[in-house]
Structure 1
Amino acid sequence: MSGEFLEASMQYFGISPWESEVIYEIFGERFRVQQHELAEPEPGFVSTLYISVPLEFNEEFFKWFEHRRWDKVKAIFKEMKRRRGRGNALKIEISFNGIPVIGFVLDVDDRSWFDNALEKLDFVSELLPFQLSSVNIPHQVSKVIYIFDVETRKWKLHTLFASEKKFNLVNNVWKPVI
């Protein structure tokens, strides 16, 4: 990575000034951060946070960003969930802008599952090459979205975009969304 700062973005609603400042400072150590406060909440949530990272999601990112700094990101997200209590009060979406774009949607209502999902997020980078090379995956994938499945306690592929079409994973088969 060069000495020039890449641009990350942060959009949010219902996030306290303290929370947004802490997140801004953590990411600001490595990126030039554009922030934007949203005018309306996402339906069903008190607070939403969208972060776009201008790098690929892989082990090299975590080495460059530094694991200690990533642990701070997870800690602030956990604190945000703790402050909001049970229920779908908080939704966090993080996307990494490689090829393909890798996105994570964290909207688990139970705090312990929320924390568990955060701890497991960085390990998805180890599985990603295998999951994206599956024969079942459509060609020309441009974006992949993971959700945390509390039943299996794993991050699972949920949605992908390929050849300008949207697909959802249903019973281990990619079905086009019409």
Structure 2
Amino acid sequence: MSENLKAILRYYGISPWEIEVLYGFLNSHFTIVQNEIEVEDENFVSSLDIEIPLTFNEEFFQWFDYKRWEKVKAVFKEMKRRRGTGNAIKIQINFVGNPKIVFAVDIEDKVWFNNAIEKIDFVLELLPYHLDPTKLPSNIQEIIYKFDSESVRWRLNTASSEDKKYTFRGDTWKEIT
């Protein structure tokens, strides 16, 4: 099955060792495509964008194995530790599905960064509520979550359809004009 599923790693400022360790954890389940890119955001020394070709759901974690996922999260936290505080690293995890679910981690503080990484799994419990068609704008193709350090949890941030973008404020979606 892994030869059919391509996980894509796009990165800059990530050491060969860090990529090799991530590759090792992902390679058993995916064919890995690596793209070292030019600096895209001058505010960050390092950036890692991972595209996982599966839907973000309980089945993914059972198939991939929770222990393996914990090891991947440990690599992310080690990347932050090695770079220290400040805008040292930005990680974006994209789960392809309908809609695509994206977790954007760009927190300066190491403790909050680690907390965000640890709590990605917790969004599973809220996903049915967040994806409720009566609450979600129509034809949404992508939802981006950002970690809120004040409430110490992942929050809906933006959603995009083919021609519209929305932001989530309070408990409603508002179109961005």
**Range into which the TM-score falls when normalised by the shorter chain:** over 0.9
Match of residue 11 from structure 2: 12
Runs of 4+ aligned residues of structure 1 deviating over 6 Å after TM superposition are none
The alignment partner of 2:97 has SS state of: coil
Matches of residues 1-178 of structure 1 in structure 2 within 5 Å? 2=1, 4-133=3-132, 135-178=134-177
The alignment partner of 1:122 has SS state of: helix
CA contact (8 A) 2:80 2:89 kept: yes
CA contact (8 A) 2:140 2:161 kept: yes
* Distance (whole Å) between structure 2 residues aligned to residue 94 and residue 100 of structure 1: 14
Q: TM-score, normalized by length of structure 2?
A: 0.95
Identity of aligned residues (%): 49
* Distance (whole Å) between structure 1 residues aligned to residue 84 and residue 107 of structure 2: 11
Pairwise CA distance, 1:134 = 6.1
In the comparison of the two structures, how many residue pairs are matched? 177
Look up the equivalent residue of 1:158 and give its one-letter code. N
Look up the equivalent residue of 1:57 and give its one-letter code. F
Q: For structure 1, which segment, 156-165 or 61-70, has the greater mean C-alpha deviation from structure 2 after superposition?
A: 156-165
The alignment partner of 2:55 has SS state of: coil
* Distance (whole Å) between structure 2 residues aligned to residue 4 and residue 15 of structure 1: 25
- Which ranges in structure 1 are unaligned for 5 or more consecutive residues? none
CA contact (8 A) 1:50 1:94 kept: yes
Look up the equivalent residue of 1:15 and give its one-letter code. I
Look up the equivalent residue of 1:20 and give its one-letter code. I
The alignment partner of 2:8 has SS state of: strand
* Distance (whole Å) between structure 2 residues aligned to residue 84 and residue 41 of structure 1: 18
* Distance (whole Å) between structure 2 residues aligned to residue 155 and residue 88 of structure 1: 19
The alignment partner of 2:79 has SS state of: helix
* Distance (whole Å) between structure 2 residues aligned to residue 116 and residue 67 of structure 1: 17
Look up the equivalent residue of 2:72 and give its one-letter code. V
CA RMSD of aligned residues (A): 1.4
Pairwise CA distance, 1:135 = 3.4
CA contact (8 A) 2:120 2:154 kept: yes
CA deviations over 1:82-101 (Å, ceiling 9, x no partner): 00001111100000001110
* Distance (whole Å) between structure 2 residues aligned to residue 36 and residue 67 of structure 1: 26
* Distance (whole Å) between structure 1 residues aligned to residue 89 and residue 5 of structure 2: 27
